[in-house]
Amino acid sequence: MIEFIWNLASFVVALGILITVHEYGHFWVARKNGVQVDRFSIGFGKAIWRKVDRHGTEFVIAMIPLGGYVKMLDSRVDDVSEAQKDRTFNAKSVYQRIAIIAAGPFANFGFAIVAFYLMFLIGVPSVKPIIGEVTVGSIASEAQLPSNSEIIAISGNKTVDWQDVNLALVSAIGDKNIIFTVKSAGRTSSQDFNLNTQNWSFSPEKESAMASLGFLPYRANVQAKLALVAKGSPAEKAGLQVGDELLSIADEKINGQWQKFSDEIKQYPEQNVPVTVMRNGKALTLNVYPEAKEFQDKVVGYLGVQPVSDPYPKEYLFEQAYGPITALEQSALKTWNLVILSFDMIGKLITGDVSVKNLSGPISIAQGAGNSADYGFVYFLGFLALISINLGIINLLPLPVLDGGHLFYYFIELLTGKPVPEKIQEIGFKFGTIALLSLMSIAIFNDLSRL
């Protein structure tokens, strides 16, 4: 319950910030072009706070924090006096109207640059993308991708941490091959490895892009010794304690291999199984009863323990922090790359290279908001930047109910010299509403299926 409240609060804060930024873009450019703004609302429904400024604009915070709007004076829907006509939105030139509508999405892009800029100034603890285990018979294995080597680029895209690797792999979905540029320890030059991905099958709800290609990030050595026994877990109920060294399960020795123990315990959901441990120099056998949990479409046994891990190599850890000028360059570049990636993903959704199962809705966003807030302010900034970019991209889609749909009509007006007839606009708005609701329904269904 506490996690739900935290996720919800983080989601409301994040959404409130991003909607305010988006709507302020419309508001500011409208004011600069002499348009009367009647209302600036964050949220829908009943107002819980309101204030009117000296220009007659009513600022409102409403009860339902799932959107916002800027209501501008428009003679097509408002009673406008002769003296007010030049202050209406529809009286402005098509170029001014384009600027006002486009200002919302571009404010989101600008906010992303600012958020990334602050993030890079503060510094982001990061991990070098060092390849760990490579699965035998996998795509990575067939390309002879070497373990214990650093990925420095993927298909020409520079990769300094695992987030860069993930984004590069997502952008490569649908490609027939992926070029990994890696640098092995002790070598001064890099090597290229061509991964044949014509038969690459990637299901993000089941596994990571890296695992689907057959490799995992480097992990520090894990000991078959308990570092944590969760309170109220099957392990605690069975009498397991922190410091216990695992020797065998179901009379099968694990030879100090934590992964072997982890794999074995999954085979006994809701079944009694003997586990032998070494405690204070003496062997002790306990009967455990793992809970049943669903994992990757399978029901597996869950014990509720964590192993002791060796320290992570210091040379693999670094902090992404830059000076004021470089931080600005890096934040602008990161924003640009994410914008390009987002449009690329939309194109692949249309062509079918990316499944609609990959769409995420408000539940996933709320979980992401809560998780990033848990990690700290700098990670929450990164999350805000990413969602802000996505909000800007979505609003630029040429659906008549969105900013992109209005811009589409105005570009037609530029070409033809006359506005799109209102009847055609109304048909477009109905189509846009249906399309948007359909996408939202798919995204929410995907969210619920992942719970």
Task: Please list the active-site residues.
Answer: 23
Q: What is the 3-state secondary structure (H, E, C) of the chain?
A: CHHHHHHHHHHHHHHHHHHHHHHHHHHHHHHHCCCCEEEEEEEEEEEEEEEECCCCCEEEEEEEEEEEEEEECCCCCCCCCHHHHHHCHHHCCHHHHHHHHHHHHHHHHHHHHHHHHHHHHHCEEEECCEEEEECCCCHHHHCCCCCCEEEEEECCEECCCHHHHHHHHHHCCCCCEEEEEEEECCCCCCEEEEEECCCCCCCCCCCCHHHHHCEEECCCCEEEEEEEECCCCHHHHHCCCCCCEEEEECCEECCCCHHHHHHHHCCCCCCCEEEEEEECCEEEEEEECCEEEEECCEEEEECCEEEEECCCCHHHEEEECCCHHHHHHHHHHHHHHHHHHHHHHHHHHHHCCCCHHHCCCHHHHHHHHHHHHHHCHHHHHHHHHHHHHHHHHHHCCCCCCCHHHHHHHHHHHHHHCCCCCHHHHHHHHHHHHHHHHHHHHHHHHHHHHHC
